[in-house]
Amino acid sequence: MIKDIATPVRTKAILEKYGFSFKKSLGQNFLIDPNVLTRIVDHAGVTEETGVIEIGPGIGALTEQLAKRAKKVVAFEIDQRLIPILEDTLSPYDNVSVIHQDVLQADVKAVMNDQFKDCKEVMVVANLPYYVTTPIIMKLLEDQLPLKGIVVMLQKEVADRIEASPSSKDYGSLSIAVQYYTEAKTVMTVPRTVFMPQPNVDSAIIRLLLRNEAKVTVKDESFFFKVVRGSFAQRRKTLLNNLQHSLQNGKEKKGVIEEALEKAGIDGRRRGETLSIEEFALLSDQLIEDFKE
């Protein structure tokens, strides 16, 4: 019987065997609790028909649990030092491939087409490095990959922001961007004590199930997101003020912005965080004719 990688004793033994030292710059915190890993795989609903993309496998603790249940696991690892370790720790599993590449630079769609032809569905399941959590999630969503969903461990405060509702302190452009593409739900919180080394923050597992179609229909997606980002540029400022500063020639076109707000039935004195995603959709559709670049 192979001992789980994710026990403190086995993790230490692997690190010592290879003389591995953690790189702070890569946000390396390895999980040392097999129960947490099992629950992550449970929440992802991985079956023998599932293909899984993992990002940042470390020494293979989560990869191992995924390999036991999934049809195929493809892991992206940026740190060259971990490649020989993963070859060793994952040698019992013939359904795992490790790609030495930064996932932010990778053509993930091409990898999916190549690796998951015989899989019924594909999930992303990962313990994400905290310093690049948001760029990775946004790349996966904006690339419009044929995924069923994304189940990732991240900083608890980022999970709170993703899941936030209008008029809450955590609600912002990230909440809207992720909820536009997915249904988001925090499925568990994870204490810092189950990591080596221990991070300074608590973590959460968030499940993002991709929608069949976007939550709202807009005339122009990139302009919609531009309006959203601009509306949150300075949280204390009113919507009208933020839009004047964020839209091209906004100050000169103040009257145009006021008219668009009125047509959308939105008071320009409100702040961005009070608007629902539906209100942002109405507003961007009213503004686009005058501000499309």
Binding-site residues: 29, 31, 56, 77, 102, 127
Is 231:279 a contact under the CB 8 Å cutoff? no
Is 106:80 a contact under the CB 8 Å cutoff? no
Residue ranges of the binding site for S-adenosyl-L-methionine: 29, 31, 56, 77, 102, 127
Work out the number of other CB atoms within 10 angstroms of the CB of residue 282: 19
Q: Nearest to residue 41, comparing CAs of 6, 81, 11?
A: 6
**Secondary structure (3-state) at 151:** strand
Is 77:86 a contact under the CB 8 Å cutoff? yes
Q: Nearest to residue 179, comparing CAs of 187, 190, 171?
A: 171
Residues forming a β-bridge with 126: 152
19: left (phi over 0), alpha (psi -120 to 50) or beta: left
Is 178:170 a contact under the CB 8 Å cutoff? no
